[in-house]
């Protein structure tokens, strides 16, 4: 799900490696991380779009985020 979000974001530099990983196995959650390179000209808007689109994609896939 998250890899697809990275693949679809135009600001992510496709020639650089990007990946999704398990960052932590916490008490009540599995915390995931994302690493990618973004275009300098679109860094902040791209980062904000990624954050928003990750939430939408997880919701659409039925994956709940604990708060």
Domain at 29, CATH number: 3.30.70.100
Instruction: Quote the pLDDT of residue 28.
Output: 85
Residues facing 19 on adjacent strands: 35
Structure tokens at 65: 């985020």
Where residue 65 falls among pLDDT bands split at 50, 70, 90? confident
C-beta atoms surrounding 20 within 10 Å? 17
- pLDDT, tens only, 6-45: 999 999 999 999 999 999 999 888 999 999 999 999 999 9
Q: Considering the domain boundaries, does residue 67 fall inside one?
A: no
What is the distance between the alpha carbons of residues 46 and 11, in angstroms, rounded to a whole number?
5
| Neighbouring C-alpha atoms within 13 Å toward the C-beta of 66 | 7
How many domains is the chain built from?
Answer: 1
Q: How far is CA 20 from the centre of its chain?
A: 7
Whether the predicted pLDDT of 58 surpasses 90: yes
């Amino acid at each position: 799900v998250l890899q697809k979000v990275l693949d679809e974001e135009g600001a992510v530099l496709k020639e650089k490696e990007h990946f999704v990983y398990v960052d932590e196995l916490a008490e009540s959650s599995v915390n995931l991380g994302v690493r990618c390179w973004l275009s300098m000209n679109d860094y902040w808007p791209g980062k904000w779009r990624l954050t928003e689109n990750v939430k939408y994609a997880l919701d659409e896939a039925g994956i709940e985020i604990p708060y």
